[in-house]
Structure 1
């Protein structure tokens, strides 16, 4: 098979975004636009991928890592000039080269593959990726002759009234014979209003040399959307969101309200899981089968195993093992590890803590920097006091222990297996296995104390009035 190369143009700053963040790094469904493009190319049998960087080069490299090679466009002098920066990497190679912009996040691997195949089959010097739209205003029109061959590509401002009626547009994606691309790039000039070197000029030069120019028309115009401002970014996100949700549903996931469910591109979800409205699944979250993710939950970079129920809660960088549950209104902070069949109730916060199988943390509790064994009951209002103002300290709680309501466990602390902590205790010393720890102030009752205060007089008046009814 003919060698395949790809060049991603990612050097522009994107002033219309009005942002400190470089345009191609703006995210669509949790992933930088340029990363979407690269991810689709990685699904193809591409021999070499080169990304042209300029503004924000280091940030782009940080985002994409070593998945691509890089060439620097120090001055932004147009798309033709950008592609010329790839000559040292690709210029002498036989094969075909796809050129795509890094701000077009909706293109799919399938479309790239069909474009490569069309180009190779027809032995074109260059092939333009085209699409049809009901509103072609602003796009370059693809003008074909009676045999269906590309006669020319004309920009909106240069189109005649008849040409302007043409609905087939140039998407700005091309495949070239690699050597002819770089030979022709040396022939383009910047004799235009912007003083830049334009890649589409290569098409005209190749035509003047009687080279064959092809055009492959894709089915979905939406794929070609370029993002130049925040309005286009929101539209692209909506299209991508719909695509992602539909793919999960086809794979056996129930999404109750797809229009109001937000799933990032790299999220994985198992079959027969139910996603309720308002849910946000972000980053590289992995959710197993037969789970229920309750309305308005937000889950970021977590692993959720089979059979888990999350009810209106916020989870980040944590793990929930099989058949555990959480919520409503609870929070897993980073490095929480929730064991099998564990119950995390309402208004519970867990941070950097491991909770063993079948343990229950019912409600209104903070568990931080702790290791809890199996079959433990943690009572309402328990606080794991892990911070002394300078350092964090750890608490270990043994299997089958019972922590009474309202307990304060002051770390560092060891509570043994089968130990008890009495309700309302502040525990500062270790509790041995099978022992009970009690840390309360002694109760003292003051007789007649209530009668000394004005509230008592008011109560007597109310009681007298009720008795006289």
Structure 2
């Protein structure tokens, strides 16, 4: 069971807390993924009706229990119990705002439950400052209860054992004990009070036990500060996973990579780089420094220096930047150079084409071995509609050429510097001027060879 029924008012956001982005994914998705990893027989999430948007991210197979009134975690647990299938013997309770739990944490908890058969097993950790977490109470070493932070008047010196992000219950005991849960002075029902009920229950084994976990597992996300702390931990985990898989990340502390990103071995990520969304980086590519890559695919042996890529696709051995901007719909073939201050949008670029610098290529199709001179602009918008420019193989576009779409430059076609091209350029043709007009092909400057020389 995953509890996600709280309204999350401390987040101060119109977006439900569970849907807040965390390293490129909704916060709740981390909890659901961890739950899926242990292959439970049944999956239930508890939601408030005000958070129906959460339904959009639930994977198949999850049932929903509705908590109409936010009366605490114990009340939320009671809403889910009627949905339990007959064959369920143990109930694992997770929280939708604890994204740092790992499958290893849960397997360790379940292993202890399997071995010791308690009524309640609580995943705990030790913190110097217990903050807002429930604190474990012991007597002669045995767990006797949990006291909530708002009810606790104890002054602590030294580390404190606190409730972390998971609790496992014996199903039969839970169904008998939950109706006996009393309302707290704050008006809520705390699931943690079940630990005290368990400790007082005659049981064949120790009725209430704790299982230790790393301190970060206790981090629940309640506000923006908590979210930033969780983000730092998740990104650190992502960087470690990638580096152990063969990716070079020069400075993980200044590199931000989403959990959804895939990077092949021998790629090198330079400092101050952001890679997000469904991006994929090929083997041997160098990204950054100061690059921003979102939802893009970058092939092997590419270099992206201080540039922005959004929903773009690069082939192999493509060089981009510095200070280029590839916008959505851009598709670049192998061995292309895109230099500084070039912007491409919804453009297809053929092999070995060069776009040196200071150019805008929008709604265009460039063939192979095309040269785009500095200052070239495809004028794709007539004030009402967008139009397409086609520049075919081996064309040479001179500096400061304005291509008034729709227009086509044929194979081997050329434009003179400063031309305004509003008519198609024939194959092998040369146009110059404003507006551009065809002129005779240039004579070869090289003297023809003479037989016998």
Give the TM-score normalised by the residue count of structure 2. 0.89
CA distance in 2, matches of 1:56, 1:342: 51
In structure 2, the residue matched to 1:358 is 352
Which of 174, 180, 191 in structure 2 is aligned with 1:187? 180
1:115 pairs with 2:109: yes
Unaligned runs of 5+ in 1: 1-6, 444-469
CA distance in 2, matches of 1:181, 1:139: 22
In structure 1, the residue matched to 2:27 is 33
CA distance in 1, matches of 2:199, 2:43: 27
Within a 5 Å distance, the mapping from 1:208-357 to structure 2 comes to: 208-211=200-203, 212-357=206-351
- Residues 336-387 of structure 1 deviation map (CA, whole Å, 9 limit, x = unaligned): 1111111110101111111111111111111111111111111111111111
Residues 163 and 428 from structure 1, CA distance in 2 versus in 1: closer, same or farther, beyond 3 angstroms?
Answer: closer
CA distance in 1, matches of 2:48, 2:372: 56
CA distance in 2, matches of 1:38, 1:168: 26
Residues 112 and 269 from structure 1, CA distance in 2 versus in 1: closer, same or farther, beyond 3 angstroms?
Answer: same
CA distance in 1, matches of 2:338, 2:61: 40
> Does the 8 A contact of 1:100 with 1:174 survive in 2?
yes
1:197 pairs with 2:209: no
> Does the 8 A contact of 1:313 with 1:329 survive in 2?
yes
> Does the 8 A contact of 1:375 with 1:401 survive in 2?
yes
Which of 397, 414, 417 in structure 2 is aligned with 1:420? 414
Which of 389, 399, 415 in structure 1 is aligned with 2:393? 399
Aligned-residue offset at 1:156: 4.4
1:408 pairs with 2:398: no
> Does the 8 A contact of 1:141 with 1:163 survive in 2?
no
> Does the 8 A contact of 2:264 with 2:283 survive in 1?
yes
Residues 69 and 429 from structure 1, CA distance in 2 versus in 1: closer, same or farther, beyond 3 angstroms?
Answer: farther
Aligned-residue offset at 1:155: 3.5
1:369 pairs with 2:363: yes
> Does the 8 A contact of 2:112 with 2:211 survive in 1?
no
- Residues 45-70 of structure 1 deviation map (CA, whole Å, 9 limit, x = unaligned): 22332221116423212234546332
* Most deviating of 369-378 and 89-98: 89-98
Residues 249 and 414 from structure 1, CA distance in 2 versus in 1: closer, same or farther, beyond 3 angstroms?
Answer: same
In structure 1, the residue matched to 2:441 is none
> Does the 8 A contact of 2:49 with 2:66 survive in 1?
no
Aligned-residue offset at 1:393: 1.4
1:177 pairs with 2:163: no
Aligned-residue offset at 1:153: 2.5
Residues 439 and 339 from structure 1, CA distance in 2 versus in 1: closer, same or farther, beyond 3 angstroms?
Answer: same
Residues 48 and 305 from structure 1, CA distance in 2 versus in 1: closer, same or farther, beyond 3 angstroms?
Answer: farther
In structure 2, the residue matched to 1:455 is none
Unaligned runs of 5+ in 2: 438-453
CA distance in 2, matches of 1:199, 1:28: 27
CA distance in 1, matches of 2:22, 2:365: 38
Within a 5 Å distance, the mapping from 1:156-171 to structure 2 comes to: 156=149, 167-171=160-164
In structure 2, the residue matched to 1:460 is none
Residues 319 and 116 from structure 1, CA distance in 2 versus in 1: closer, same or farther, beyond 3 angstroms?
Answer: same
CA distance in 2, matches of 1:205, 1:167: 22
Residues 296 and 64 from structure 1, CA distance in 2 versus in 1: closer, same or farther, beyond 3 angstroms?
Answer: farther
Provide the secondary structure at the position in 1 that maps to 2:340: strand
- Residues 218-274 of structure 1 deviation map (CA, whole Å, 9 limit, x = unaligned): 341012101112222222222222222222222222222211111111111111211
CA distance in 1, matches of 2:214, 2:162: 12
Which of 147, 153, 159 in structure 2 is aligned with 1:154? 147
Provide the secondary structure at the position in 1 that maps to 2:369: coil
Within a 5 Å distance, the mapping from 1:14-163 to structure 2 comes to: 14-54=8-48, 56-64=50-58, 66=60, 68-90=62-84, 92-144=86-138, 146=140, 149-156=142-149
CA distance in 1, matches of 2:358, 2:155: 71
CA distance in 2, matches of 1:370, 1:442: 19
